[in-house]
């Protein structure tokens, strides 16, 4: 049985070389973080999500910010706290439409549901309302905007946390 290696067309080879060069540049900026850089790169290429966990001061946020700058994509970034409101991530309610038509809808322009690449810092600090909505977005790539389930273009969600909490409610994230 003979196996043949598929031949990539010229534009794909150029994209692959460009990506590899940019990845090398990121690795040069973050000495000793090659594994983290490779994991983030693999997640983006496979349309998966990554959570970097480590103590404060280990350049998690800086690495993810640098990585997203090398990608030409719609981007959303936010630092979650226990006081973060869902509207801060998903957008405000369209009050005018609610008043005139009685339709509950969120204005998602420039917010997480419209991002290609998203970064949530201290992801486990979010409320249960935020984390439950986030699960639907990252697992199903869908955002429920009022009565509509809207497909999301999310390629990858990059998250960071100083630690993983012991809370069993967060088991779906591990």
Segment 81-114, tens digit of pLDDT: 999 999 999 999 999 999 999 999 999 999 999 9
The pTM for the full model equals 0.83
Domain membership of residue 3 (yes or no) is: no
SS3 content of the chain, % helix, strand, coil (to 5): 45, 15, 35
Residue 161: enclosing H or E segment and its boundaries? strand 156-161
Domain membership of residue 98 (yes or no) is: yes
* pLDDT for the residue 171: 57
In the chain, % of residues over pLDDT 90: 51
In this structure, are strands 142-145 and 148-151 parallel, antiparallel, or unpaired? antiparallel
Domain membership of residue 6 (yes or no) is: no
Confidence of residue 67 (pLDDT cuts 50, 70, 90): confident
Domain membership of residue 65 (yes or no) is: yes
Domain membership of residue 4 (yes or no) is: no
The structural domain count of the chain equals 1
Which range of residues forms the domain containing residue 41?
A: 11-173
What distance lies between CA 11 and its chain's CA centroid? 27
The Cα–Cα gap between 132 and 172 comes to 9
Residue 6 has pLDDT above 80, yes or no: no
Domain membership of residue 25 (yes or no) is: yes
DSSP string, 140-154: H-EEEETTEEEE---
Domain membership of residue 5 (yes or no) is: no
CATH number, domain of 88, equals: 3.40.50.300
Q: Which residues of 46-82 are buried (b: 16+ CB within 10 A; e: fewer)?
A: eeebbbbeeeeebbbbebbebbbebeeeeebbbebee
């Amino acid at each position: 049985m003979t196996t043949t290696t598929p031949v990539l067309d010229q534009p794909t080879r150029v994209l692959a070389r460009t990506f590899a060069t940019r990845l090398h540049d990121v690795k040069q900026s973050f000495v000793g973080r090659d594994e983290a850089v490779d994991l983030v790169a693999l997640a983006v290429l496979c349309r998966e999500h990554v959570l970097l966990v480590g103590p404060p001061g280990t350049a998690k946020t800086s690495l993810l910010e640098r990585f997203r700058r090398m990608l030409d994509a719609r981007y959303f970034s936010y630092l979650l706290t226990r006081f973060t409101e869902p509207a801060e991530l998903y957008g405000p309610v369209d009050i005018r439409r609610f008043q005139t038509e009685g339709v509950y809808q969120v204005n998602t322009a420039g917010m997480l549901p419209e991002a290609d690449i998203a970064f949530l810092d201290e992801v486990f600090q979010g409320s249960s309302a935020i984390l439950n909505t986030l699960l639907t977005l990252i697992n199903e790539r869908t955002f429920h905007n009022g009565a509509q389930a809207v497909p999301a273009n999310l390629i990858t969600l990059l998250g960071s946390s100083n630690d993983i909490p012991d809370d069993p409610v967060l088991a779906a994230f591990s």
